[in-house]
Structure formats: C-alpha cells, structure tokens
C-alpha cells in the first residue's frame, strides 16, 4: 500500500521521520529507541557512532563538532529522502555538537521496517548520506598537541 505522498504503508513521510535533532548535551540511545516504537516493524537497525581514541595513526584526546546553521534542515531532508526511498516505518537521526571526549556518543541513527533486510539497508543509507551531505565539521585534538579540522569545505 502507498500513501498519497509516495510513502510506504505506515504513514506519510513526515509521520515516519520520528526524531531529527542536533544536541549539545549527551545523546540517549533510549530516546531514539522510544521514538522508533512501531508494532508493525519486525526489524529495527540502530547505529551509534562514538568518539574513538585514534585517527590516522594518531591518538585522539577529544574533539568538537560544529554545525552550519542549515545542518538541522539538511538532516531532516536526508531523513525524509530515506523515508521516501526505502520501505521504512520510522527514521531517527540525532547528532551531537560541541565538545566530546573519547567514548562519548557523537551520533545515533535508526530505521525501523517490517523486515530486517529493509531495516539494515535503510540504516546504512541513512548514516552514509548524513555523513556525506550534512554540514557538520569535526575539530580533532591529538595526544601530541596537534589538531585538525575534518569535513570542512
């Protein structure tokens, strides 16, 4: 079944995009899971991106994420596109901004679908597209005192 907006059974695109946010406080996996609640979904694929202790052979001590003023709108556009292009019942994307230490959660994305294959495929597309298209930049600090910006134009 298809709705008038071309979406999969389970609601309009707007109804399936459950949570999109940029936050300067710690992210909650539980919040993302609660937003994904859907009795018709047999599969839910969750991705949690954390700050790792290394990059390019150098030890990372911390980082800061900065977002362009349009980043939240771009995140929503990506989520809507995933909801249009994949047979999903729910989509969530939350990204952290500000200072993060090693081990902190930087991003939480999730998709729910009637079947696991659709959940896996749409989840991979969601995080890969967010990383490629949303203007969020990372300023890394290394143990040797050096630093670098990643993803800047």
DSSP at 2: B
Whether residue 111 is contained in a domain is answered as yes
Low-confidence ranges of the chain (pLDDT < 50): 1-8
Q: How many CB atoms lie within 10 A of CB 92?
A: 24
Residue 1 lies in a domain: no
Look at residue 9 in the predicted model and tell me its pLDDT.
57
Q: CB under 8 Å to 97, separation ≥6 — which residues?
A: 22, 23, 24, 65, 66, 67, 136
- Report if residue 99 sits inside a domain: yes
Alpha helix locations (H) across the chain?
A: 13-16, 29-35, 71-85, 116-133
Range(s) of the domain holding residue 84: 13-150
* Rounded CA separation 140/1 (Å): 46
Query: How many domains does the chain fold into?
Result: 1
* CATH code, 103: 3.90.1170.40
State residue 5's pLDDT score: 35
Q: Is residue 8 one of the residues assigned to a domain?
A: no
Q: Domain for residue 109, yes or no? A: yes
- Specify the pLDDT at position 7: 41
Domain assignment present for residue 2? The answer is no
Contact 93, 41 (CB under 8 A): no
Tell me whether residue 82 is in a domain.
yes
């Amino acid at each position: 079944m298809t709705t008038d907006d071309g979406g999969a059974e389970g609601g309009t695109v707007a109804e399936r995009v459950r949570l999109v946010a940029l936050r300067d406080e710690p992210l909650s996996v539980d919040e993302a899971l609660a937003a994904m609640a859907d009795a018709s979904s047999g599969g839910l694929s969750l991705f949690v991106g954390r700050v790792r202790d290394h990059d390019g052979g150098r030890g990372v001590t911390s980082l800061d994420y900065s977002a362009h003023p349009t980043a939240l709108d771009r995140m929503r556009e990506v989520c809507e596109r995933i909801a249009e292009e994949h047979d999903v019942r729910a989509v969530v994307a939350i990204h952290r901004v500000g200072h993060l230490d090693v081990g902190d959660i930087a991003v939480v994305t999730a998709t729910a679908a009637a079947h696991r294959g659709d959940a896996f495929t749409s989840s991979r597309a969601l995080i890969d597209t967010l990383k490629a298209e949303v203007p969020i930049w990372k300023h890394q600090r290394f143990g040797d005192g050096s630093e670098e910006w990643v993803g800047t134009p």
